[in-house]
Amino acid sequence: MALGHIALHAPSYIVALWGALGAVCGDLVLFYFIRDRFSDDLLNSFSSVFTRHFLASFHVGFYKWVSPVLGALIIASPLPDEFGITLLGFSKTRTWALMIISFIGNILGIYLIVWFSGIL
C-alpha cells in the first residue's frame, strides 16, 4: 500500500528499484540467519537418518533444481519471502545467486504491485 502511494509521486521503475534493493538487504539478513544458524539447529534436533534423507532431497535429483525455482517464485510473489529464503537456504544456494534471484524477483513483484496500484 505504501509503495502504491509513493508511486503516485515518483516513477514506478524508481520505486521498484529502491524497493528491491531494500528487500535484498532484508533477504540477505534472513538468508544468513537461516543458512548459518537455523538450519544447523533444526538438523541437530532430528535423528541422523532423517537428516541425511532431508539434506539429500535438496542436493540431488528433482529437488536440486525445484527448490531454488520454487524459492524464486515465492520471493517474486506478494507472499512473505521467508519460506522462499528458507528453501534457498536449505539448498545451500550461494550468496551471489540469492542476491540475483532476490533482486529480480523483488523488482518484478514490486513493479507489478506499483503498476496495479496505478490502474486502480
Q: Count other C-beta atoms under 10 Å from residue 84's C-beta.
A: 26
* CA dist., res. 97 & res. 77, Å (int): 18
Q: Count other C-beta atoms under 10 Å from residue 53's C-beta.
A: 11
- Output the pLDDT for position 73: 86
- DSSP states of 23-85: HHHHHHHHHHIIIIIIHHHHHHTS-HHHHHHHHHHHHSTHHHHHHHHHHHHHHHSSS-THHHH
Q: Alpha carbon 22 to chain centroid distance?
A: 13
- Total-model pTM: 0.75
pLDDT per residue as tens, the chain (120 positions): 677 778 778 888 888 899 999 999 998 988 888 777 776 666 666 666 666 666 666 556 666 677 778 888 888 887 888 888 887 877 777 889 889 988 998 899 888 888 887 765
